[in-house]
Chains A and B, each alone.
Chain A
Amino acid sequence: MKKLKMKKVGVSSLLAGLVLVLLAGDALAHGERAQLASMRMRTVHWFDTKVEPLNVKVGDVVTVTGKLVTSEWWPQQLASIEDTVYLNIGVPGPTFLRLHSEVNGVPMMRSTAFPLGKVYEYKTVMRARIAGRYHVHPILNVKDSGSLVDKGTWLEVAESDSTAPFTNEVTTLLGDTIDLETYGLGAVYTWHLIWLAIGLAYILYWLLRKELFIPRFLRIRHLGQDRANEIITKKDFVAGGLFFTLTLATILGGYLWAENKYPITIPLQTGKVEVTPIEVPTGDLEVVVDSASYALAGRSLSMRLKVTNHGDSPLRISEFLTANIRFLNPKVTESEIYPGEEMVAKEGLTVSVNVIEPGKTVEVELVASDALWEQYRMTGMINDPDSRFAGLVFYYDDNGERFYQEVGGSILPTFF
């Protein structure tokens, strides 16, 4: 009976394991929905993200460009992006080689700092290394806060036409051209084998003997601790001396060999670099949030805005961007959607006043509404300990020039 029960348990466990394995899918994204909604809205606004081209082969170059604005509503409790930040790229490990990255023209091998409320243009150039289908995200790693992830773009990497192994050649400042895929491995294998051989020889010297643990334990117990050293023979002592000398000689030999082979070396390099924010023309629209709410059971965010046009050209609100979701006003056609771009609600923005005339102050109701709101867990704000929001309002003037203004404030849920 007991045997039968155990068999049942065994079969059930096996089946459960099999089901889990079959149901498990690949992890393809970088947790862009996982962070708190209010934190995604109030940290960094990414826009104009372009990944080109979307279909490449191993060895081809891919360029990721875009802009970002650091939010003036940055949460006080988070370590600030004004301290230390690093421009990174979200791909599954080294499936790509990063050849170059820059922010506002400054190379980004190292970390930097971004003052709040400024706009930055970034660019990352990569070379495809491993074939596959990847969700590529620009990422900012903020020290002591975490990662801020832009929306992803799917990228197909096919196998290379060449059957030659992938190489990554660079020329050192000493003039040698090296392949980083295999650089220095000969010495690594050789020296590791030498040390493994010496280590094994030492261990085998002790293990390959007639009396090991139990007999030695019995002898020591019989002799007592004061006389226990008698168990160490003269041969052991000599062997110890030989291994000691051999080890020191090998360390010294290896060190001198490397010094001779690589006479010029430098320490690891680190230290922050400075990036100057770019000056962008500020538009003539002044936007003040009167109130904001989101429908808990629905898929929308509503804002009541007081909008003043200080310029001499009529202005049209084209887009609201928050937490990487773009809500586009279908009545303003200038907004561009990039190939492969995700998280765009093409008709997601309703604006109560289509044109804001020069010199006028009007009340505008702005409703951002789409399934994306729910899909990207924005309704989860009800569970956030800090119900405030921020986003960018984009607008165009008559010349087709685009401007933006960041808006933000408290936000309330509506339940019906």
Chain B
Amino acid sequence: MSETPTSELTEVEVKSRLLDMKSLDNPKAMKLYRRFDGIIILVLFMFLILGIQIHFTLTAGDWDYWIDWRDRRWWPLVAPFSLLLFIGPFAYGFWARVRLPIAATVITLLLCAVSWLSRYLNFYEFTHFPMSFVFPSTYIGLGILLDCALLITRSLLASALIGGGLFGALVWPLNWSFMAASKVPVELNGTLLSVADLMGYQYIRTTTPEYLRIIEESTLRTFGGSVTPLTAVFSALCGMVIYGIFLWVGSRINRLDIYTKRIV
């Protein structure tokens, strides 16, 4: 964050800052601040809810729309990647400016709310897909872990290592509680399918053929069977790196106020 050292401030600015501090003891000023806080909350709400919805739809949409896309290899990698690159700059801003470790929880909570709204109105009511096939995933628990890691360590770097790592690693276990049912085996015409595959086949999607799914395929790699833990480890590493990079991006964005001041 660009903080002007007190020694470089003009006399007027120093006086103004002292007055600002005194205003915190003034009930009338505090009332006014609360109103401004309300406006900030409203603006942030609108911006974040639209931002995360558009961003997540464009970068990880299909993995979250359909349960026959939520595989062991790609979804636990793509979803945290997409979310952390959006969360990073906001987490930096919220921490540096107001020391509020809430960005990740707010964003994942809003994503969950808007996803439910979208699935119910667009997928269930408008296009008749059953909710059992299109329910959204949740990432709220990961958001809380990320924010709490920052709160406990009070260090952005440590939060990137602990929180970013947990965010990447725990996508699968967090969602397994309500997703396991879709991975129960069934048989159709002598072919083994999971319930999710069967639903993907039965509930027709004209422009989403089976081959379009970017999901795990068989390989000759060593430990090819231990996909879930291996993906979790790799995703954790990616989570640390991505979150770290986008915290840095956030710090750059926060310095843009220098240019605003110059223009003013």
Q: Which residues of chain A have a CB within 8 Å of any CB of chain B?
A: 30, 84, 86, 88-100, 102, 107, 109-111, 126, 129-130, 139, 141, 143, 147, 168, 170-174, 176, 178, 180-185, 187-188, 190-192, 195-196, 198-200, 202-203, 206-207, 210-222, 224-225, 228-229, 231-232, 236-237, 239-241, 243-244, 247-248, 250-252, 254-255, 257-259, 261-262, 264-272
Contacts and interface: CB of A to CB of B under 8 A. Distances in A.
Interface stretch (B52-60, B77-85, B137-145): B137-145
A217 B98 contact: yes
B233 interface: no
B196 A268 contact: yes
A334 to B, nearest CB: 34
A99 B202 contact: yes
Nearest to B73: A267
Contacts of B141: 195, 198, 247, 250-251
B112 A192 contact: yes
Contact of B205 (A93, A183, A272): A93
A270 B217 contact: yes
Contact of B199 (A180, A257, A271): A180
Contact of B211 (A86, A173, A207): A86
A216 B98 CA distance: 5
B102 A224 contact: no
A220 B97 CA distance: 7
The 9 tightest CB contacts between A and B, nearest first, are A254-B177, A184-B181, A240-B151, A141-B209, A86-B209, A265-B183, A244-B148, A258-B180, A107-B189
A105 to B, nearest CB: 10
Contacts of B216: 267-268, 270
16 contacts: A98-B201, A102-B189, A143-B212, A188-B132, A190-B178, A191-B138, A192-B112, A192-B178, A212-B41, A214-B37, A215-B24, A240-B148, A248-B145, A255-B176, A259-B176, A266-B184
Interface string B130-169: 1111011010110111011101101000000000000000
B71 A267 contact: yes
Q: Is the interface of B mostly helix, strand, loop or mixed?
A: helix
Q: Of B127, B144, B170, B215, which is in contact with the most chain A CB atoms at under 10 Å from its CB?
A: B144
Interface string B34-47: 10110011000000
B264 interface: no
B99 A192 contact: no
- The bracket for how many chain B residues form the interface is 35 or more
A237 B151 contact: yes
A93 B55 CA distance: 25
A139 B155 CA distance: 55
B41 A187 contact: no
Contacts of B72: 267-268
Contacts of A214: 33, 36-37, 40
Q: Is the interface of A mostly helix, strand, loop or mixed?
A: mixed
Nearest to B152: A240
A178 B195 contact: yes
B236 interface: no
B118 interface: no
B193 A258 contact: no
Contact of B182 (A130, A181, A184, A212): A184
Interface string B98-136: 111110011011001100100000000001111111011
Contact of B105 (A187, A203, A215, A239): A203
Nearest to B162: A244
A161 B197 CA distance: 31
Contact of B185 (A86, A220, A250, A266): A266
Given A268-B71, A268-B213, A269-B197, 9 more contacts: A84-B211, A86-B211, A91-B206, A185-B132, A192-B112, A203-B105, A206-B101, A207-B102, A241-B152
B97 A109 contact: no
Interface in B236-260: none
B207 A191 contact: no
Contact of B188 (A109, A203, A258): A109
Contacts of B173: 251-252, 254-255
A211 B30 CA distance: 8
Contacts of A264: 184-185
Contacts of A207: 41, 102
B229 to A, nearest CB: 13
Contact of A229 (B99, B113, B197): B99
B184 A247 contact: no
